[in-house]
Amino acid sequence: MYMEKNKVKNKKYTLSDFLGGYFENIGKMTIVNMLFCIPLAFYIGIMFLLNCFGINNIFVLLLAIPFLSPFSAGLFYVSRKITMDEELKPVKDFIKGIKENVLYFLINSVIVYIVTAGLFITFSFYVTGLSDSMMTASFVMTVFFTLFFLFFENSLLSMIVTVDLKLGDIIKNSVLLVLKGLGGHIKTILSFAFLFMIIYSLFMFTRNIYFIAVFMSVIILLFLPIMCSYIIVFNSYKTLKRHIIEPFIEEQNKQNKISEDTDPLEELYAADIEKLEALSKGDENEFVFLNGKMIKRKAIINMLDKYKSEKE
């Protein structure tokens, strides 16, 4: 996981920024996308074999969510680096993204699998009962929950590869960012709708199943997975920047530059001991921004006591 250590660039995150980031890194993004397609092809092969034995229900197909989640961590990490205009090393960063975020992505994938399976059952049940007013009201509530969950996942997946927090705190912050980042979430939905509308429109020119299969294979191999993760991270990052990074960036910029051989405790408290004393006052479970990371005030109190004891 990562939290910005350098100055956050003053980007407006417009369509031109999005396209600029993509076309400047199109070659590297294609490499990352092809790396992701290796486990994807393996999964498709397994599903083909299971289908040959008559095992082809939706709950088996949904196993793609936990199976591909570690590799999705690599996609999202790379997408975050592109969004932040950082230098990208395709293979190295893809693997690094997996190593640093695999646990949180796996845990989240189990939740997503359960929720998705539950929603499938729920919507299947509604198909036969929407004539009833109570069922209709319940259906509308389920639709709103589905949208909320999608927006929540957009924030959560982007936050995992951006901030250095415990998963529980990331989840709580992601819930709060659902409404705060509503504009970005709507852009994400519209972007996906536009993207898949273009793909679908291309199928209208042919009914040849083999051509469609080859065409979809090429699209998936070259850009579709990385484009989806890039859309999510790009539209979510502006909210993360505004509500998590920017409010504390001034504090970060005031930190003194510390040499590589500085003791970790010295690095933590080198800036201003009085300011750190001030940060230690308040609810010990509250999060504060210090030295590039959001940490609990309780941790500052404990480490501050340790620092003072070592100085005595």
* Residues 35-76 pLDDT 10s: 999 999 999 999 999 988 888 888 999 999 999 999 999 999
Give me the DSSP letters along 227-269.
HHHHHHHHHHHHHHIIIIIHHHHHHHHTSPP--TTS-HHHHHH
- Reply yes or no on whether the pLDDT at 2 is more than 50: no
Mean pLDDT of 99-121: 95
- Reply yes or no on whether the pLDDT at 123 is more than 90: no
Q: What is the pLDDT of residue 25?
A: 95
- Reply yes or no on whether the pLDDT at 126 is more than 60: yes
Helices (H), the chain: 15-24, 26-52, 58-61, 64-83, 90-126, 133-160, 167-180, 182-203, 209-222, 224-240, 246-253, 264-269, 273-279, 297-311
Mean pLDDT of 200-229: 88
Residue 249 φ/ψ region, left for φ over 0, alpha for ψ in the -120 to 50 degree band, beta for the rest: alpha
Higher confidence at residue 6 or residue 26? 26
* Residues 216-267 pLDDT 10s: 999 999 999 999 999 999 999 989 888 876 665 555 555 544 434 444 445 4
Dihedral over alpha carbons 19, 21, 22, 23 (to 10 degrees): 80
Higher confidence at residue 281 or residue 175? 175
Q: Which has the minimum average pLDDT: 147-151, 222-226, 289-293?
A: 289-293
- Reply yes or no on whether the pLDDT at 7 is more than 50: no
* 293: confidence class by pLDDT, cuts 50, 70, 90: low
Residue 19 in tokens: 């396209």
- Reply yes or no on whether the pLDDT at 283 is more than 70: no
Q: What is the pLDDT of residue 308?
A: 73
- Reply yes or no on whether the pLDDT at 3 is more than 50: no
Q: What is the pLDDT of residue 130?
A: 59
Q: How confident is the prediction for the chain on average, in pLDDT?
A: 83
Mean pLDDT of 192-210: 85
* 160: confidence class by pLDDT, cuts 50, 70, 90: very high
Mean pLDDT of 272-276: 66
Q: Which has the minimum average pLDDT: 70-79, 121-130, 233-242, 287-296?
A: 287-296
* 5: confidence class by pLDDT, cuts 50, 70, 90: very low
* 11: confidence class by pLDDT, cuts 50, 70, 90: confident
Domain assignments of the chain as residue spans, ordered by start: 15-247, 254-312
